[in-house]
Amino acid sequence: MGNQRDARLGVVTARQQQLATEQRVAVLDLVAAVNYRFIALIAAQEQVQVQEQAQQLAQSLVTSLSKRVQAGRAPQEELLRARAAQAKAALDVGRARQQVHLEALKLSAYWADSTPDFTRAEGDLFALTNAAPIADWQARLAQNPDLLLLADKTRMRAAELRKAEAEGQMTLGWSAGVRQLQMTDDTALVAGINIPLSSRKRASGAISKARAEQDAATFAADSAKVQLEARLNQTYSAHSQTLTELHSLRDQILPLLQDANRATAAAFDQGRYSSLELALAQRELLEARAALIDAALRAHETRIELERLTASAPVDSTQLGEIAQ
């Protein structure tokens, strides 16, 4: 029969493997998306703390300036600017809290809950380790589910080509039976054989199509591998740079700004600095803390992307923490 049965079974097997890989791709995409949203919620909660601290500092400055204005040691204009800054800080707190609510909605949508019943996400945004060497990630790239899916498609096209070639081969058919002869009223045993003509020629179109589709699948797999290698290198570079930025902010810039803020506050209490100089020092410190949160968020996002590219992300839980009910 020209191995047609084996060829058809090969197509079915290749399709089953392709479906299994598609399922794995969907799972990894879902895990990455949930981790993205979880980290975004943690970062939004951290930003709320920064804005609440800014509000407290603004309130403290208004209180101090009110006493100075009453004592005639500061102009009224400074107090007015401080009250305006206090009002703006209150708006920023409300905006940050609204962002937390939006991120919670986005996260809960993954388990079909439009009204999340958890109060906050528990986790350490700054729990980051140094990146593994690039060679380790490159070695894992072979497990990229997209590459595996393209490989499955290539095998599927190869199986379809074998099936088309098998169907184009000349296959013999036979038949047998008993025939009643009316003229003589006799019974005869009849056997026959069927020989198809030009079956290869009729199947040439299907074979050409299957071969072209196999070549296209092979080209797509090779092209995707090159693109994914470039994407991996770019993501790794961004991850390493973000970690460097985070460590610099946390270990060098923030301690210096904290010392400068304390010194400026002491000088303000002694009357040597104006409220503008104190507000500037406080704003620089708060902006650095916000930048630290943003750097930690980007570091986690690039780490998730690396794990997605190499299919090395855990699929049973988030990496940072848990949801508090």
| CATH code of residue 18 | 1.20.1600.10
Structurally, the chain folds into a number of domains equal to 1
Enclosing domain of residue 104: 4-324
Taking residues 59-70, report their average pLDDT. Answer: 91
Residue 257 has pLDDT above 70, yes or no: yes
Distance of CA 138 to the CA centre of its chain: 18
Tell me how crowded residue 119 is: count the other CB atoms within 10 A of its CB.
10
Q: 321 with 123: CB under 8 angstroms?
A: yes
pLDDT computed for residue 325 by the predictor? 52
pLDDT computed for residue 27 by the predictor? 78
* Span 83-117, pLDDT tens digits: 999 999 999 999 999 999 999 999 988 887 777 77
Residue 250 has pLDDT above 80, yes or no: yes
Taking residues 315-321, report their average pLDDT. Answer: 47
Q: 82 with 2: CB under 8 angstroms?
A: no
Greater confidence, 51 or 163?
Answer: 51
- The conformation of residue 325, written as its DSSP 8-state character, comes to -
**Residue 221 pLDDT class (50, 70, 90 cuts):** low
pLDDT computed for residue 317 by the predictor? 43
Taking residues 183-204, report their average pLDDT. Answer: 58
| DSSP strands (E only) in 125-254 | 173-181, 186-194
Residue 273 has pLDDT above 50, yes or no: yes
Q: Name which of 266, 275, 281, 284 is nearest 77 in CA terms.
A: 275
Please provide the DSSP assignment of 91-153 as one string.
HHHHHHHHHHHHHHHHHHGGGT-SS----EEEE-TT---PPPPHHHHHHHGGG-HHHHHHHHH
Residue 93 is encoded by which pair of tokens? Answer: 């707190």
Predicted TM-score (pTM) of this structure = 0.74
**Contacts of 109-116 spanning 24+ positions with Cβ under 8 A:** 110/30, 110/33, 110/34, 110/37
237 residue type, one letter: S
Most confident range, picked from 72-76, 190-194, 254-258: 254-258
Residue 289 has pLDDT above 60, yes or no: yes
Residues in the chain: 325
pLDDT computed for residue 147 by the predictor? 65
How far is residue 131's CA from residue 158's CA, in Å, rounded to a whole number?
A: 39
How far is residue 311's CA from residue 26's CA, in Å, rounded to a whole number?
A: 12
pLDDT computed for residue 211 by the predictor? 61
**Residue 47 pLDDT class (50, 70, 90 cuts):** very high
Q: What are residue 178's DSSP bridge partners?
A: 189
28-46 per-residue burial string, b: 16 or more CB within 10 A, e: under 16: beebbebbbbbbbbbbbbb
